[in-house]
């Protein structure tokens, strides 16, 4: 999800009031098996847990934990999960503040708290040393967890990861989130949302109506829009270099060549910062944008499968 969405919301604010959707209806539609809800760290998490050996009843199977980006949900990984679960236990989650997990129980969205919450979830699910796959914001949380707790991570796949300050953001300082952004609490017209999502695709024609519907429904989950605003207000980036220097896990960077949200050139920042021992390399996907796992899942899946193979 991009800041373009917020601008579009402001421009379209007068179109329609958009209330939250009833939780029961959303869970009936979007939390069918293999979805389940797990208590960890004082939080009720929406989790999808699947794999070759009867997961989640095979906690010692090689596992991968998949973390979505800002404004998204575990559904962004559907195609990749289907491709990986033949050989791996695949765990997808709605992060606190998103989807059917809903707002963080403590109202905290700083990276330190988020990493501690993820560790609590990993313990609850008996994920001893999973690989991590993270997209955008989820990529930042993935490499931060790998930096802070290198003994808990096997491999690291970062899909257009966030972390280096972009224009409008400063290290050590929360961004200004003006009153106009608060409109998102009450206004989310479908057409405006679609216009905000389209720039994440190199080819907007690939953004299906079903995908727009899913994003809208997940954003309309009770409390989620307020939680997204809280996350923005609490975002304080740290200079990534010293943190990335602590990463030990083998690392694959995946980037859409035409990413307009976090440019593919940012991959060079990661290659410079990650230790040589990680063997970090870049998989550049021609003709794709910020969400390659949605825009053309097959384009990067085989390489990710090979990298994560037990």
Alpha carbon of 256 to those of 46, 100, 210, 215, 283: distances in Å?
28, 28, 22, 21, 9
pLDDT for 178 equals 66
Domains and CATH numbers, the chain: 3-308 (3.40.50.1820)
pLDDT for 183 equals 79
pLDDT for 3 equals 42
pLDDT for 174 equals 80
pLDDT for 101 equals 98
pLDDT for 56 equals 59
pLDDT for 216 equals 96
pLDDT for 302 equals 97
pLDDT by position in tens, the chain (length 310)? 444 444 454 444 445 688 999 999 999 999 999 999 999 999 999 999 998 755 555 556 799 999 999 999 999 999 999 999 999 999 999 999 999 999 999 999 999 999 999 999 999 999 999 999 999 999 999 999 999 999 999 999 999 999 998 766 788 888 777 666 677 788 888 888 898 899 999 999 999 999 999 999 999 999 999 999 999 889 888 899 999 999 999 999 999 999 999 999 999 999 999 999 999 999 999 999 999 999 999 999 999 999 999 8
pLDDT for 57 equals 56
């Amino acid at each position: 999800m991009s800041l373009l969405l917020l601008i579009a919301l402001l421009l379209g604010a007068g179109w329609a009031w958009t209330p939250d959707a009833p939780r029961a209806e959303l869970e009936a539609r979007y939390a069918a098996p293999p979805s389940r809800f797990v208590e960890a760290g004082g939080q009720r998490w929406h989790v999808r847990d699947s794999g070759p050996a009867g997961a989640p009843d095979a906690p010692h199977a090689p596992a991968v934990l998949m973390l979505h980006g800002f404004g998204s949900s575990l559904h962004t990984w559907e195609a990749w999960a289907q491709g990986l679960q033949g050989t791996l236990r695949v765990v997808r989650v709605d992060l606190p503040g998103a989807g059917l997990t809903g707002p963080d129980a403590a109202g905290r969205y700083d990276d330190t708290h988020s990493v501690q919450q993820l560790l609590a979830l990993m313990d609850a699910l008996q994920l001893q040393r999973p690989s991590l796959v993270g997209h955008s914001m989820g990529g930042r949380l993935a490499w931060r967890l790998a930096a802070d707790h290198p003994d808990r991570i096997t491999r690291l796949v970062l899909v257009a990861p966030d972390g280096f300050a972009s224009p409008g953001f400063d290290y050590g300082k929360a961004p200004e989130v003006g009153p106009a952004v608060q409109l998102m609490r009450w206004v989310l017209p479908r057409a405006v949302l679609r216009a905000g999502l389209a720039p994440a695709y190199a080819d907007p024609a690939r953004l299906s109506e079903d995908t727009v519907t899913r994003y809208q429904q997940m954003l309309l989950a009770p409390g989620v829009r307020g939680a997204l605003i809280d996350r923005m207000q609490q975002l304080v980036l740290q200079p990534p270099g010293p943190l990335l220097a602590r990463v030990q896990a083998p690392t694959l960077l995946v980037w859409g060549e035409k990413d307009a949200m976090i440019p593919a050139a940012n991959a060079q920042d990661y290659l410079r910062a990650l230790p040589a021992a990680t063997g970090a390399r870049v998989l550049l996907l021609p003709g794709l944008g910020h969400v390659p796992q949605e825009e053309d899942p097959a384009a990067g899946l085989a390489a990710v499968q090979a990298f994560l193979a037990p």
